[in-house]
Amino acid sequence: MATTFWHFWPEFNRWLDDVPDTRFMPLVIYDKRFLIWWGISLYLFQLGSRRQLDFDLDARGTQVLNNLNRLAQTQQETRPVHDTLDHFLEHTGAAPFAELRTRMLRRLIRMRSLDAGRLQGRFVVALDATGLLAFRRPHCPCCLVYRHTTHTVYLHQVLEAKLLGPAGLTLSMASEFIENSDSNAALSGEDRKQDCELKALSRLLPQLRQEFPQLRLCLSGDSLYACARTLQLAKNHHCNYVLTFKPGHMPAVWKDFQALLKLCPENELTCSTPEDAHQVYRWVHGLSYRDDQGRTWCFNAIECKETVNGQTTTFAWITDLNVDARKVKEIAEKGGRHRWHIENQGFNRQKNSGLNLEHVFSTDPERLKAFYYLLQIAHIILQTFEVGSLLRNMAAEFGRTPTQLFGSLKNIARRLLEAFRYFALSDEVFDRSRAGSIQVRFDTS
Ligand SMILES: [Zn+2]
């Protein structure tokens, strides 16, 4: 269980005490630290559904109760059932768990454990939205409504800002739910202007800036974000940006880009990757874009032509970072291409594993959000464990990588659950002085 997280685990437990729970009166009084760890366990052990808590984390003949007490620093004599968790979250609401996630990120940043992922001193924040839930019938007043020719779907989506750390770490930094507000719920059909990814960005970015006022940030987004709204928001909230540039978005600017590339042949860098891809980078400075409100924006643009096995693919980005032969590759990789991690290590992983992002963990929309944040918290702990040097060193003792040793991330999850059920976490595991002496590094190879 030892991870980077271990370095601030006692502090984490103190944060749990800050979660307000004044109105919560179950039959057995559970310490909230215990209940929150119970909730995090649902995702830490990737149980897939709330119901599995009752079966996979049963207390009879296992070390579960003992280990949970060790984690939460409590002395509960029984373990709760899954409904207790749902009931508890009804009273706390979702906000304290968003705050808990933010505190974890601040702590990881302060420990400097994510520094290797920085781009010219800035943390790269990938922006993207994903679907959470889909229903065939209206689910709540806030559902997004999409009418198809044969049927209508009711959706819940979320816009995520994920910090891209070293070794593919993709950590939830801020979340904004994309949903219709109650105030226009009375309007129906076409009268109702639905919420969307870009509108959600206008709410997310001020919130992100408020949570991390001093941090130097570089936003990374797909071509949907290459628009005046993002540029204005980035400016207002002091963020740099690297955004995917496609001919269809801002066609006049794209034409200028192509014409200018021919005029500055000296702006070129050729290189090869360890995977044998041949890359040609070219760039221009000072492209100008006039938006529909008459504002003029000025930025640089990068093109990368990559050839693998005779097949060439072209990528392009716009950025306000200063581009030259020394910096172009790093900007394109960390600012541009690593954005794909939000899709792969981020959304796909959360959907196609026991984290089960698209599962309806609660029937109530507010509690669903609380479960969403618990999932993000557990995934942060899991990621720091999976790419941390401790697991890597352990596997190295057998001459293997962690994935070679365990076969898959799914197997690692199963082993974690087995260990939690049948082995009592020892005093040694919780020895802070020992944890402090271990240097934990993320694999950046
Ligand atoms: Zn709904």
- DSSP-based three-state secondary structure for 30: coil
To the nearest 10 degrees (0 to 180), the angle between helices 95-110 and 365-386 is 20
The confidence score (pLDDT) of residue 440 equals 59
| Tokens encoding 128 | 């993207």
Q: What's the 139 CA to ligand 1 centre distance in angstroms?
A: 4
Q: What's the 134 CA to ligand 1 centre distance in angstroms?
A: 9
The confidence score (pLDDT) of residue 241 equals 98
The confidence score (pLDDT) of residue 307 equals 96
Q: What's the 370 CA to ligand 1 centre distance in angstroms?
A: 15
The confidence score (pLDDT) of residue 396 equals 84
The confidence score (pLDDT) of residue 429 equals 74
Q: What's the 140 CA to ligand 1 centre distance in angstroms?
A: 4
Amino acid at 12: F
Kindly give the confidence (pLDDT) of every residue in the chain, 445 residues in length, as a single tens digit, with 9 standing for 90 and above: 446 787 788 899 999 999 987 666 665 688 999 999 999 999 999 999 999 999 999 988 999 999 999 999 999 999 999 999 999 999 999 999 999 999 999 999 999 989 999 999 999 999 999 999 999 999 888 999 999 999 999 999 999 999 999 989 999 999 999 999 865 555 555 556 899 999 999 999 999 999 999 999 999 999 999 999 999 999 999 999 999 999 988 999 999 999 999 999 999 999 998 888 999 999 999 999 999 999 999 999 999 999 999 999 999 999 999 999 999 999 999 999 999 898 888 999 999 999 999 999 998 989 999 999 999 999 999 998 888 777 888 888 888 888 888 888 888 889 999 999 999 988 777 776 665 555 556 765 5
Query: With contact defined as beta carbons under 8 Å apart, do 146 and 152 qualify?
Result: yes
Q: What's the 138 CA to ligand 1 centre distance in angstroms?
A: 7
Q: What's the 365 CA to ligand 1 centre distance in angstroms?
A: 7
| 92: phi then psi, degrees, rounded to nearest 5 | -80, -30
Q: What's the 91 CA to ligand 1 centre distance in angstroms?
A: 20
- pTM score over 0.85: yes
Query: With contact defined as beta carbons under 8 Å apart, do 166 and 157 qualify?
Result: no
Number of residues that this document lists for the chain: 445
Query: With contact defined as beta carbons under 8 Å apart, do 143 and 110 qualify?
Result: no
Angle at 47 between CA 358 and CA 423, to 5 degrees: 160
Q: What's the 180 CA to ligand 1 centre distance in angstroms?
A: 9
Residue where the block lists tokens 């041949």: 278
The confidence score (pLDDT) of residue 26 equals 60
Q: What's the 364 CA to ligand 1 centre distance in angstroms?
A: 9
Q: What's the 342 CA to ligand 1 centre distance in angstroms?
A: 24
Question: Among the residues of 2-79, which ranges form H helices?
Answer: 9-16, 32-44, 52-56, 64-72
The confidence score (pLDDT) of residue 401 equals 82
Q: What's the 355 CA to ligand 1 centre distance in angstroms?
A: 21
Q: What's the 94 CA to ligand 1 centre distance in angstroms?
A: 16
Q: Measure the CA–CA gap between 352 and 173, rounded to whole angstroms.
A: 21
